[in-house]
A = this chain, B = another copy of it.
Amino acid sequence: MKNSSYRELIFAKWIVPLEGKKSILSDHCLVKKDHKIEQIIPADEAIEIFPDCNRIELKDHALLPGLINCHTHAAMTLFRGIADDIPLKPWLEEHIWPLEGQFVSADFVKLGTNLAIAEMIQSGTTCFNDMYFFPDIVAQTAESLGIRAAVGMIMLDFPTVWASGPDEYLSKGLKLADELKYSTLISPTFAPHAPYTVSDEPLKRIRVLADELDLPIHMHIHETQHETEQSIDQYGMRPLERLSKLGLLSPRLIAVHMVHLLSEEIQSLAELGVNLLHCPEANLKLGSGISPIKQCLEAGINIALGTDGVASNNDLNMLGELRTAALLAKGASSDAETVTAWQALEMATINAAKALNIDNVCGSLEPGKSADMIAVDLSALHCQPVYNPVSQIVYSASRSQVTHSWVEGKLLMKDRQLTHIDTDQLLEQVSQISQNIASN
């Protein structure tokens, strides 16, 4: 065939490309060709140039890049709300770890990830960065449902249902990374769990391998005060200093949480190009504290956002998370001008794509990038009037206003209906397993 490519015109009341400027385009059209964005042009021009193309009309909507949830433990949806109002240490040691030991399996991860993906699509997420057991199952589930994901080659010192120790975590992880070599949707990351659960030797190996394979490293760091104190007891230094000595502080690192930071640490992170992954709601809910986001922004650190697992959130709603990020940074720093609506949206899109090293593929609506995008209907009564659509998206809109979602140009949700997921069947399966867990 001479020309089998498929072009589609998407007209939206507003297009917010997040291409590095504060552009809000009215009466424009995004021209999608196959799975990519071809161009964004005035609506009347599009009609003239492409009179015969299929059209989607989004009359009350803003079209923007799909949100990137840059820190998840997707399968933990199955533990939603099972242990609330409890601090991190007893929450992990007395509740989550025992439950995981008893229930987590390949089937559990498949079902939990499926539920997570359904929830994420419904709330505007088109890519998630996961860390959990059975990352092979997470990868398969994401690929089969058409959502973009980064999956972590998880690493712990101790045995779990997934592996017996560092050697097996690594060999299973590397096997997965190899299998993902040709996937356009799923990419691997190294995912050493945290400084307090992974010792120096495995971290050194990961550092070398990450350089060789050119992959990000996804790790929980400085989540609680307790973690930093324990590290001083055990290693004679704070975790960040230890990771620095191990050569891990680089633009490869996606440092999750980073609640407890000294000024000199912030400067050093900025100089070394480390990515900060902010999970405001989970940090609040577990009483871990509030990350000094204003100072990190001013230092020039690339900041992205994540929900964390639902067991500490309790949802995977990035539209809510970016609102919390914008509000919390202002209140915590007594500066209403920090983390503006625009900055919050960037954290949830292009900044995350940079952290994952996929900003050449997604994170903004620009010609040549993959058509990973969402439409948000701003006609809801609680978004009226609309003086500024970006304000309404960040400060007023709910996840239920996300009506359409595309990844690689394919519709994953249309008018709130998921196209690839049988939700009735999914909820029936969730109901069955949760009865088992509850009767435990």
Interface residues of A, Cβ cutoff 8 Å to B: 77-78, 80-82, 84-88, 91, 115, 118-119, 122-123, 225, 280-281, 283-290, 310, 313-317, 320, 324, 326-328, 330-338, 340-341, 379, 381-388, 391-392, 395-396, 398-400, 423, 426-427, 430-431, 433-434, 437-438
In the complex, which of the residues B382, B385, B400 contacts A119, with contact meaning CB atoms closer than 8 Å? Answer: B382
Residue of B91, B335, B434 touching A87 (CB-CB under 8 A)? B335
Assess the A84–B287 pair: CB atoms within 8 A. no
What are 28 A-B contacts with C-beta separation under 8 Å? A80-B384, A80-B392, A81-B387, A84-B341, A85-B330, A85-B340, A115-B384, A119-B381, A122-B382, A123-B382, A281-B327, A284-B332, A285-B327, A285-B331, A285-B336, A287-B331, A287-B334, A287-B336, A288-B331, A289-B331, A290-B332, A316-B382, A381-B426, A384-B430, A385-B434, A386-B434, A387-B438, A398-B399
Could you tell me if B391 and A334 are in contact, using CB atoms closer than 8 angstroms? no
User: Could you tell me if B87 and A337 are in contact, using CB atoms closer than 8 angstroms?
Assistant: yes
A381 and B118 within 8 A (CB) = yes
Most B CB contacts (10 A, CB to CB) among A123, A310, A326, A391 go to A391
Q: Complex: how many Å from CA A80 to CA B380?
A: 13
Bound CA–CA A340/B81 (angstroms): 12
Q: Are B78 and A385 in contact (CB-based, < 8 A)?
A: yes
> Which 3 A-B pairs have CB atoms at the shortest separation, nearest pair first?
A284-B331, A385-B434, A287-B336
Closest Cβ of chain B: how far from A413's Cβ, in Å? 12
Q: Which residue of B lies closest to A291 (CB)?
A: B331
If over half of A's interface residues share one DSSP class (helix, strand or loop), that class is named, otherwise mixed; here it is helix
Residue of B whose beta carbon sits closest to that of A84? B391
The listed residue (B285, B310, B330) touching A287 by CB distance below 8 A is B330
**Is B382 touching A335 in the complex (CB atoms < 8 A)?**
no
| Contact indicator B327/A385 (Cβ below 8 Å) | no
Pairwise interchain contact B327-A284, C-beta atoms closer than 8 A:
yes
A387:B87 contact, CB within 8 angstroms: no
A326 to B285, CA, bound (A): 8
Specify which chain B residues have a CB less than 8 angstroms from the CB of A383 in the assembled complex: 80
- The CB with the most chain B CB atoms within 10 A, among A320, A383, A387, A430, is that of A387
Taken together as a complex, chains A and B put the C-alpha atoms of A383 and B431 apart, in Å, by 12
Residues of B within 8 A of A434 (CB): 384-387
- Say whether, besides A122-B382, A123-B382, A396-B314, A84 and B388 are in contact (CB < 8 Å): yes
Residues of B within 8 A of A334 (CB): 225, 287-289
